[in-house]
Amino acid sequence: MKYQEAVTYLNSFINFEKQIKFNYNRLKLNRVRFILDILGNPQKHLKVIKVAGTKGKGSTANYINNILFEAGYRVGLYTSPHLHDFRERIKLDKRVITKKELVEVVQRVRKGINKHLKQGGQKPTFFEVYTICAFYYFFVKRADFVILEAGLGGRLDATNVAQGIISILTPISYEHMDKLGNKLESIAFEKASIINNNSYVISSHQRPSAFKVIQRMAKVKKAPFYACKRSFDYRLKRISNLKQTFDYEGLKVNLHGLKTSLLGEHQLENASCALAAIEVLVILGYTIDNRAIKRGINNTDWPGRLEVVAKRPHVVLDGAQNKASMLVLVKALSKYFKYKNLIVLLGISADKDIKGICQIISRAADEIILTKSLHPRAALPNVIEKHFKDCRRKNTQSTYNITDAFKLASKLSKKNDLIVCCGSLFVVAEVRQLMGINRIH
């Protein structure tokens, strides 16, 4: 099998990430378990840390990944979605899975899937197949730890077949309401369902209704529960548009002068949840010294999250894609950057809270350029524009591709302005490609 054949095979499975609407309950963990059982249940041989939530999952997972790497452990990291190449989703020791490795894994996993189908099993989805590939890869490579970011929700997410020693819940807000429920409690339940019996639970600061759900789930699962602002906390010390310094007040340990290049105060909360997870691992007997912790935090980057890619004018990329994350973005921009005019390049997926996003960004932006990515879920600019009529007097400008939108933003901007490209990670990815940043070969 050649690499392109492996890609074609993976793409032969239905990919709900490219669909606006689908039946959430069509996701079945049993078919994932059946295939993994045929493959010898590689996931049962892994020490897993699971991360679910609405925002901050990837950053939190990356902080943990880098700290453990600096401590000398072999670490597997599984995240989604990707920016440029789906191989980015599977990393070992901070290195993306190679094409050769992927071919080897797909060949083995395909045999298991074929046997499953011959036995009358249901055909899995792309995400399920790729998650199985990740489990098998990390097992073969003998990873000491594996960090799994849940894709959609948590309860029915393919990553949830693994038993986690630690489950982390990042901030939960309204998203995918057609699938996860219209109430915050329902969404929190779907995400808190990653918690396993007798594991440890770490949570970001949550809204009261979400907090109660997580707390109740932890109690049912007999899992010790630690929450930000209650069991541990952070203190912001210094900021710039390059780095921020903070102190961590932990479960048992206090750390001072930690530095991170990830911007926004929300990243300090993400880092604190990661540090609480590291403390739990130390409690469990693993060796992770403070030097590894400081290096891990300092060396963590996560493209597309308040990412500065140019100066004079500053160009910032952020994947904020719901009302809550857009509010966080707007607050961070005013806190971490000085600028005269804010020029926003905005593209949103059709299944997101377009109205809520528009309400937030309309209050902050001086110029808004609507556009769409090449992703099949991208909303048309004229559809987005309708939502500005009730919340914005100024006209917006529309383009139908990222290249034209970025050219227009550059034309409108002066050296002391700020250009922000946001609304979707798909928009961010295309801007990065346009600028020739971080392409994977």
Q: Read off the pLDDT of residues 283-292 as tens digits, 9 standing for 90 and up.
A: 999 999 999 9
Angle subtended by helix axes 29-38 and 99-118, to nearest 10: 110
Distance of CA 249 to the CA centre of its chain: 25
Are the CB atoms for 384 and 354 separated by under 8 Å? yes
pLDDT at position 124, please?
Answer: 95
**pTM to 2 decimal places:** 0.94
Identical fold for domains 3-298 and 307-434, yes or no, is: no
Quote the pLDDT of residue 276: 98
Residue type at position 398: S
User: What SS3 state is found at 173?
Assistant: coil
pLDDT of residue 315: 97
* Cis ω for the linkage preceding 81 (within 30 of 0): yes
Domain ranges of the chain: 3-298, 307-434
pLDDT in tens, 337-385: 999 999 999 999 998 999 999 999 998 999 999 999 999 999 999 999 9
Strand 244-249 to 254-260 pairing? antiparallel
> What does the alpha-carbon distance between residue 52 and residue 17 come to, in Å, rounded to a whole number?
17
- How far apart are the C-alpha atoms of 198 and 224, rounded to whole Å? 8
What is the model's pLDDT at position 440? 63
Q: Which CATH superfamily is domain 307-434 in?
A: Mur ligase, C-terminal domain (3.90.190.20)
Low-confidence ranges of the chain (pLDDT < 50): 441
Neighbours of 274 (CB within 10 A): 30
- Tokens coding 267: 């990243």
Q: What pLDDT does residue 16 have?
A: 86
pLDDT at 390: 65
Alpha helices in 200-336 (DSSP H): 208-220, 265-283, 290-298, 323-336
86 with 133: CB under 8 angstroms? no
Contacts of 335 (CB under 8 A, 6+ apart): 239, 265
Return d(Cα 280, Cα 193) in angstroms, integer.
20
Distance CA 213, CA 190 (A): 10
Domain 3-298 has CATH 3.40.50.150: no
Cβ(52)–Cβ(202) below 8 Å: no
| pLDDT at 354 (0 to 100) | 93
CA neighbours within 13 Å on the CB side: how many for 343?
A: 21
Cα end-to-end span (Å), the chain: 19
Handedness of CA 182, 183, 187, 190 (dihedral sign): negative
